[in-house]
Amino acid sequence: MKYRERLRIEVMRKEKSSSREIALTIGCSIRTVQREIRRGQVEQLKGSTWEYYSVYDADFAQDRYRQRQGGSGPGLKIGHDHKLAQEIEKQLREKRSPDVIADDIRKRHGEFSVCLCTRTIYNYLEKNLFLGVSWKDLTYGHYQRKKDRTVNRPSYKNLKGRSIEQRREEVNQRIVPGHWEMDLVVGGKRKGTACLLVLTERMSRREIIRKLPDRSQQSVIRCLDALEKEWGARAFRKQFRTITVDNGSEFLDSRQMECSCISRGKARTEVYYAHPYSAFERGSNENLNRMIRRFIPKGADIRKYTKQQIHSIEQWLNTYPRKILNFSTPQEVYQRSFNLCDT
């Protein structure tokens, strides 16, 4: 069971939903939900009565799952070779680097039961597997201990939208066109509510920029409606297969963003939500936003920029050769990729 599903269980438990309703929502058996609820129970104190009560906690359940998962996998490669462990400790005290130690072990392979690579020695130092030394004993390039891997938490206010975890692999790999990232570029404080709606095609990095009067959901939906009318319903569905956004309030109405304004009842695209505080999941969008700042610096009043000026910025971005595209322009790659799809 994934962390997002555990969060859904926690929310639905607070809404007094039954195990059967939860199972139907997340797509598993009732028995699986009941076992998960039992394993994720924690005791909490009610402030009004000072009595303890049991409640399901998604974070506790996820932490417990990770702890149990950590005990799985193969044993240590070094095994019970105490002689090798003592030799590594000795050389670390002599201020030798893990690279030098790994090379020396390879050259003396007959003396030890196994060979260890540099990465493995670093891993053992991180886990404090040696009795007399640790990563702090490294002379150069002290190995920074990894922090516990953070869990990408979905937004609590947006558990009903499609998570980026559900996005197809062809989108992640950028192997087909028609998949976009969307964001807002805002002006300075006390400089009005006008902003830019920015769409970036993931494969070609082609950019679409539209000026909005404010940051409301209605303005975003009206802009998408206008784009669909401009392209036509059929072409829009083909060229805007998916759109990935963040969890800003302006993007939370996924149902209206996905629903066609021309062919009522039909979907025009699929909207996926990145994890909170994970701008790297929309990296192309963020990079192009920085390029827009060459023309519209931070703190600028976007109200003062005309549609013609914004169109000129869009044209410049789409005809600017990019190293990541082998110095082709986004417009060239976009046209080429859709021509190949049509053949």
Q: What is the 3-state secondary structure (H, E, C) of the chain?
A: CCHHHHHHHHHHHHCCCCHHHHHHHHCCCHHHHHHHHHHCEEEEEECCCCEEEEEECHHHHHHHHHHHHHCCCCCCCCCCCHHHHHHHHHHHHCCCCHHHHHHHHHHCHHHCCCCCCHHHHHHHHHCCCCCCCCHHHCCCCCCCCCCCCCCCCCCHHHCCCEEHHHCCHHHHCCCCCCEEEEEEEECCCCCCCCEEEEEEECCCCCEEEEEECCCCHHHHHHHHHHHHHHHCHHHHHHHCCEEEECCCHHHCCHHHHHECCCCCCCECCEEEECCCCCHHHHHHHHHHHHHHCCCCCCCCCHHHCCHHHHHHHHHHHHCCCEHHHCCECHHHHHHHHHHHHHC
Tokens 């095609």 sit on residue: 201
Report yes or no: 197 and 181 within 8 Å, Cβ to Cβ: no
Burial 22-59 (b: 16+ CB within 10 A, else e): bbebbeeeeebbeebbeebeeeeeeeeeeeeeeebbbe
- Using a cut of 0.85, tell me whether the model's pTM lies above it: no
| Predicted local distance difference test score (pLDDT) of residue 23 | 92
Tell me, what's the pLDDT at 134? 78
Ranges of each domain in the chain: 3-70, 82-137, 160-342
pLDDT for res 157: 61
Class (C level, CATH) for 160-342: alpha beta
pLDDT in tens, the chain (343 residues): 888 889 889 988 888 999 999 999 888 999 999 999 999 999 887 777 788 888 999 888 888 888 777 656 667 777 777 888 888 888 888 877 888 888 888 888 788 888 888 888 888 888 788 877 877 777 655 545 445 444 556 665 666 788 998 999 999 999 999 999 999 999 988 888 999 999 999 999 999 999 999 999 999 999 999 999 999 999 999 999 999 999 999 999 999 999 999 988 899 999 999 988 888 999 999 999 989 998 999 889 999 999 999 999 999 999 998 888 988 999 999 999 887 766 5
Other beta carbons within 10 angstroms of residue 185's beta carbon come to 20
What is residue 225's predicted lDDT score, i.e. its pLDDT? 96
What is the predicted pLDDT for the residue at 271?
96
With contact defined as beta carbons under 8 Å apart, do 318 and 201 qualify?
no
Q: Which residues of 226-251 are buried (b: 16+ CB within 10 A; e: fewer)?
A: ebbeeeeeeebbebbbbbbbbbeebb
Question: What span, in angstroms and rounded, lies between the C-alpha atoms of 146 and 60?
Answer: 21
Q: How far apart are CA 66 and CA 62, in angstroms?
A: 6
pLDDT reported for residue 43:
87
Q: How far apart are CA 95 and CA 206, in angstroms?
A: 52
Q: What is the Cα–Cα distance from 178 to 334, expressed in whole angstroms? A: 9
